[in-house]
Amino acid sequence: MNLLGKVFILLPLLVSQSVGIIRIPLHKTRSVRRALSDGLTFEELKSAAEAAWRSDPSPTPSIPVEKLTNFMDAQYYGVISIGTPPQPFKVLFDTGSSNLWVPSIHCSFLDIACWLHHRYNSKKSSTYVQNGTKFSIQYGRGSLSGFISQDTVTLAGLEVLGQQFGEAVKQPGLVFAAARFDGVLGMAYPAISVDQVKPVFDTIMAAKLLPKNIFSFYINRDVKSGVGGELMLGGADPQYYTGELHYLNVTRKAYWQIQMDTVEVGNTLTLCKTGCQAVVDTGTSLIVGPTHEIRALQRAIGAFPLLMGEYWIDCKRIPSLPVIAFNLGGKMFNLTGDDYVMKISKMGTTICLSGFMAMDIPPPAGPLWILGDVFIGRYYTVFDRDAERVGFAPSRKKRVE
């Protein structure tokens, strides 16, 4: 969906169709933003924060208005395959978009991002069907473009026949060149699919390949763990969460959009005072909100503005940081400082960054909050297409075998 360090590598599993939950292990990697900023030392980052704070302690650096899709902070990825025999691709499973695309063997020699990643070659697939319709997806100031093709897509042994997808021949800027993923597999609704291409999960639904038209995410944000989590197709696994799932109806069948009642920052600040819309997005690492509200939140938790929209927090302050509570359907979903502060280690030094970022999403899609992996990592999340709802329950640690 919209553009901090983790990757899902899907390990192919031999499974039967329509016989239960299909499990896709997730693995970790750095985000694009983290990779691009790694050229700076922590001392330089801290100096930038202090300089920004001295110049103006209230506003953050200028933040551009962007579309919802922005993969700078995407963290979790997995491996799918396309074609016969299978050609593997690392993809971002993104509930904030609906199209599947991967780099094409036909990309330009000048497209650095394309040549740094796996490329689909239709000539090597016996199940390829030509389409050729041109497509273009806008990302910030540039656009990703190419053409539509059709082939068999395989997810952990589950074959999705006749799936249309994009072969990208042009990828803009440094974002995709620095990304560890090859492409994106969108898991949002058909309404936002470019060129009305049927999303992969909708093709799965039409073919009745799963016992339930549900998928769920367990994300492990423990930086010391080598396990990234798991994507489950066809249901939810109670071994990953405690208590009962709390469901909210989808308010607009485009993104996985729900109603949020308020956001409480300790006992001192209330945001989203009259209610607001929120999107649950596995393609965004952070929790994102409107600029004026995120600025107020960052001030309330004592965060200093850094470069590229990030905020620095003194790691010693984590135990005393306020609880931030999200009121969803009358139930409070709490995040502590340990939940919403990210610890980044480099050369024996640790820096702590706020898990919140400002971004103004213009109408008609916005304004919106985005509940990304900082939230999903604390709360196991179920996406239910049968009942058109999203479910949350507190996550618990479980090793993915």
- Residue 123 neighbours by CB distance under 10 Å: 7
Provide the β-strand partners of residue 77.
Answer: 27, 92
Please state whether beta strands 100-103 and 158-170 pair in parallel, antiparallel, or not at all (unpaired).
parallel
Which listed residue (73, 202, 281, 373) is catalytic? 281
Compute the distance between CA of residue 199 and CA of residue 194 in angstroms, rounded to an integer. 10
Active site residue 38: no
Cβ–Cβ under 8 Å, residues 211 and 193: no
Closest of 154, 159, 179, 160 to residue 168, by C-alpha = 179
Token pair of 389 as six digits: 């709802």
Report the 3 state secondary structure along 194-248: HHHCCCHHHHHHHCCCCCCCEEEEEECCCCCCCCCEEEEECCCCHHHECCCCEEE
Token pair of 333 as six digits: 């979903």
**How big is the chain, counted in residues?**
401
Q: How far is CA 306 from CA 93, 298, 381, in A?
A: 28, 12, 30
Handedness of CA 238, 241, 245, 249 (dihedral sign): negative
Measured in Å, how far apart are the chain's first and last C-alpha atoms?
Answer: 28
DSSP sequence for 31-48? -HHHHHHTTS-HHHHHHH
Handedness of CA 309, 315, 318, 321 (dihedral sign): negative
Active site residue 94: yes
- Indicate the SS3 state at residue 123: helix
Compute the distance between CA of residue 18 and CA of residue 177 in angstroms, rounded to an integer. 37
Helix (H) or strand (E) holding 29: none
Which listed residue (94, 182, 202, 373) is catalytic? 94
Q: Which residues form the catalytic set?
A: 94, 281
